[in-house]
Structure 1
Amino acid sequence: MTPPEAPKDGIAAQGETPPAVSVCLEVLKKRSDFLAAARARRLGTGAMMVQARKRRDDEDVAANVIRIGFTCSKKVGNAVARNRAKRRMREVARLILPAQGQPGWDYVLIGRKDATSTREFAALQGDLRYALRKLHSAGG
């Protein structure tokens, strides 16, 4: 599948490359990063819990990077249900965070039982927008 900005014939002219399909966010993988976010700000919405923390200047991460982590406990359901919830949260983050997230921050999205995987997608997006607005207005 070619991105919509790609040439119609699928062949780019010399020196032209089609833009990336999506903006990449750096993904949290270390347990220590998740624990640091858990000690910071948090806000629960109908479909997820959002944790956010401003990184310190001495951390070994570029200041203009937005990092994001996803997690679902076994309370959400079996592996299929947890993976579905995380896929939905990843897509919402991909759509919302580049515009409304702040560089230099780490975010962790935590799925909720019977809500994350069944909530209407537009409402899921609204939940993340609302959480980011509240977390960032809480005093920088």
Structure 2
Amino acid sequence: MAVLKRRADFLAANRGLRVARPGFVLLAFPNKESGIRYGITVTKKIGNAVIRNRMKRRFRELLHDSLPEEGLQNHDHILIGRAGGVERDFTKLREELSAALDRARAGKGDSPLRRRGRNPKGGGRGRGADLRKNA
């Protein structure tokens, strides 16, 4: 298994399949026959450096255990840490990763419309909402 290090690989994977779980978000994106590759992202919103590094170590161990058997062949796998991921039990994280990989294998990712809080029905106050209201 190779480790993703280039920013372009992480950005490309963001266009792929996305499966959200309570402790992390899994991104799976096909690569050009490079085998199984993985990357880990934990933002500063999660906590200080000690907490972020702890989470990355846990994710790294989780991926080393699971990806060789359950990973998607010729895909990039990226785990994005979520706030509850540090405190979650390791066996529960392992079960969640297994379920997320099963969903990704079946092609059942989260809807692109639901990503990043977008409303699929188009509601909410968008750009120009004040102008329409007063007209």
Q: TM-score range by the shorter chain?
A: 0.7 to 0.9
The aligned residue for residue 44 of structure 1 is 20
1:53 alignment partner in structure 2: 29
How much is the aligned-residue C-alpha RMSD, in angstroms? 1.2
Return 5+ residue gaps in structure 1 as ranges.
1-24, 57-62
CA distance in structure 2 between the aligned counterparts of 1:93 and 1:72, rounded to whole angstroms: 15
Aligned mates of 2:31, 2:41 — CA distance in 1: 20
State the secondary structure of the residue aligned to 2:35. coil
CA distance in 2, matches of 1:135, 1:65: 16
In structure 2, give the amino acid aligned to 1:97. L
3-state secondary structure, aligned to 1:108: strand
2:75 corresponds to 1:99: no
Q: Deviations over 1:19-46 (max 9, x none)?
A: xxxxxx2000000000000111101001
- Which residue of 1 is the match for residue 133 of structure 2? none
- Which aligned runs of 4 or more in structure 1 are off by greater than 2 angstroms? none
Q: Secondary structure at the match of 1:51?
A: strand
Residue 71 of structure 1: CA displacement?
A: 0.6
Q: Which residue of 2 aligns with 1:13?
A: none
- Counterpart check, 1:88 vs 2:67: no
Secondary structure of the 2:45 match is helix
Number of aligned residue pairs: 108
- 2 CA distance for matches of 1:80 and 1:118? 13
Distance 2:50 2:13 in 1: 26
CA distance in 2, matches of 1:133, 1:64: 21
Gaps of 5+ in 2: 109-135
Corresponding residue number in structure 1 for 2:97: 128
The 1:64/1:37 distance shift into structure 2, 3 A limit, reads closer
Residue 7 of structure 2 corresponds to 31
**Percentage of pairs with the same residue:** 41
TM-score by length of 2: 0.77
- The structure richer in helix per residue is 2
C-alpha separation in 2, matches of 1:106 and 1:129: 16
**How far is the alpha carbon of 1:64 from its aligned partner?**
5.8
